[in-house]
Structure 1
Amino acid sequence: MSNLCIIPARGGSKRIPRKNIKPFLGKPIIAYSIEAAINSGLFDEVMVSTDDYEIAEIANKYGATVPFFRTEKTSTDFATTFDVIEEVVEKYQAINRNFDFICCLYACAPFVTSDRLSESLKILETQEYDSVFPVIPFGFPIQRALKFEGEKINFFYPEFSLSRSQDLERSYHDAGQFYWLNTDICLKHKKILTNNSGSIIISEMEGQDIDNEVDWNIAELKYELLQKNKL
């Protein structure tokens, strides 16, 4: 079996400028993803998909390859993760390089570990899923979510307004860290999440969506706490 790690890292981040190479506790945040992938020993190649020469230089410094740059089509704000994966796979296929499994690992995912990557690949293979990715439980039941109706507030689901939290079904959200994919099936269905997808559950301490400076600061605090607890 051959495996490819794709780390998407576009240069045009808007909410946090130069987000993918911004220093995170002393080194570019993309370095954490590259190192986790390389240290896992799972991949025939760890590559970074970028349109930016500075990102490419940093990716090479930490051990990843940048065999080609993104096209204009996949460098826009509207390009999806699947668009990037598809382009990368097609470019490799054009030089007769094929991979059974792909891991799309985000550049801003410092909490990802080699162990989690290995655990997810094992589930993908043994359970014969199309894709596997980490999820995090919602901290509060989504059935009790609230919304504004004009200036008044009300439940999205009034039928659960009197339900006890512990009696409601647990819900989860995508951790936004990585996706293991069966290459052929992914390309066939042109999507990551299918009706045959699996997951691993991680805690809120093991992940953080990083969309603004507050998120960034929280992520650094979480990371430091996790490292401290390992000592």
Structure 2
Amino acid sequence: MSNIAIIPARGGSKRIPKKNIKGFLGKPVIAYSIEAALLSGLFEEVMVSTDDEEIAAVAKQYGATVPFMRSQKNADDFATLNDVIEEVLGSYNNEGKKFNNGCCILSTAPFVTTEKLKEAYNLLLQKKFDSVRPIVKFSYPIQRAFKLSPNNSLQMFYPEHLKTRSQDLEPAYHDAGQFYWFRTDKILTGTNKGGLIISETEAQDIDTIEDWELAELKLSMLRNLFREG
């Protein structure tokens, strides 16, 4: 089977300037995604979809291809991952290149490993899912969540679980925001989705400088544990 890794990395990040190529523990954060994809040996092509020449140069430096620049239509705040993937696959198709499966690896996902990419890929094939993504268990039962009114009064979203024991509540999970394996005939719109559970220490949403610093602390801790182990 032929697989493609698509790493979306548009320019113009507002909250963290040059977020996709900002230094993260010694190298541009996008390098982690590129290197994990290349080292996995799973992909015929590892490419970066960007509208930014500086990002393109860094991507090539770390071994990715940038065969074409992203269209302006898919470089604004309203373009979805599915839009970007469709554009990439369409461009390759125009060149006579087709892929059975793809993996969209986010450019700010320094926790991605070759092992997790392989585990998720095996799930995609063995369980015949349309797509597979890493997920993280919520640390507190979502059935006990509150909503806050404008006057600061609290109400439970699920008041029927006020007295339910925590161990009797069904676990809930959220998207780790790292990568998405998919069948190219479904992309991310297929309803048969699979999840690969990872720990909370293996994931960190990076939207602010505080998130960035916490992610660096987490990855440093994981590296130290690996060395000690």
Give 1:161 shift: 1.2
Is 1:196 aligned to residue 210 of structure 2?
A: no
Q: Take 1:223 and 1:185, find their aligned partners in 2: how far apart are those partners?
A: 33
Q: Which residue is 2:14 aligned to? A: 14
Q: Take 1:104 and 1:151, find their aligned partners in 2: how far apart are those partners?
A: 40
Q: Deviations over 1:119-140 (max 9, x none)?
A: 1111101111100110000010
Structure 1 range deviating more: 160-169 or 136-145 = 160-169
Alignment length (residue pairs): 226
Is 1:183 aligned to residue 184 of structure 2?
A: yes
Choose the corresponding residue for 1:227, options 209, 223, 229: 223
Q: Take 2:4 and 2:194, find their aligned partners in 1: how far apart are those partners?
A: 19
Q: Which residue is 2:115 aligned to? A: 115
**TM-score (structure 1 length as normaliser):** 0.96
**Could you say if the C-alpha distance between residues 64 and 111 of structure 1 is closer, same or farther in structure 2, counting changes exceeding 3 Å?**
same
Q: Take 2:186 and 2:84, find their aligned partners in 1: how far apart are those partners?
A: 16
Q: Take 2:16 and 2:173, find their aligned partners in 1: how far apart are those partners?
A: 26
Q: Take 1:203 and 1:130, find their aligned partners in 2: how far apart are those partners?
A: 23
Once the two structures are superposed, the pairs formed by residues 65-214 of structure 1 within 5 Å of their partners are 65-149=65-149, 150-186=151-187, 192=188, 194-214=190-210
Letter in 1 for 2:186: I
> Structure 2: which 5+ runs fail to align?
none
Q: Take 2:122 and 2:19, find their aligned partners in 1: how far apart are those partners?
A: 31
Q: Take 1:151 and 1:219, find their aligned partners in 2: how far apart are those partners?
A: 31
Structure 1 stretches of 4+ moved >2 Å:
none
Q: Which residue is 2:2 aligned to? A: 2
Q: Which residue is 1:25 aligned to? A: 25
Letter in 2 for 1:51: D
Q: Take 1:193 and 1:16, find their aligned partners in 2: how far apart are those partners?
A: 29
Q: Deviations over 1:24-50 (max 9, x none)?
A: 011100000000000000000100000
Q: Take 1:33 and 1:193, find their aligned partners in 2: how far apart are those partners?
A: 23
Give 1:147 shift: 1.1
> Structure 1: which 5+ runs fail to align?
187-191
- Look up the SS of the partner of 2:88 in the other structure: helix
Q: Take 1:112 and 1:215, find their aligned partners in 2: how far apart are those partners?
A: 17
Letter in 2 for 1:222: K
Give 1:193 shift: 5.4
**TM-score (structure 2 length as normaliser):** 0.97
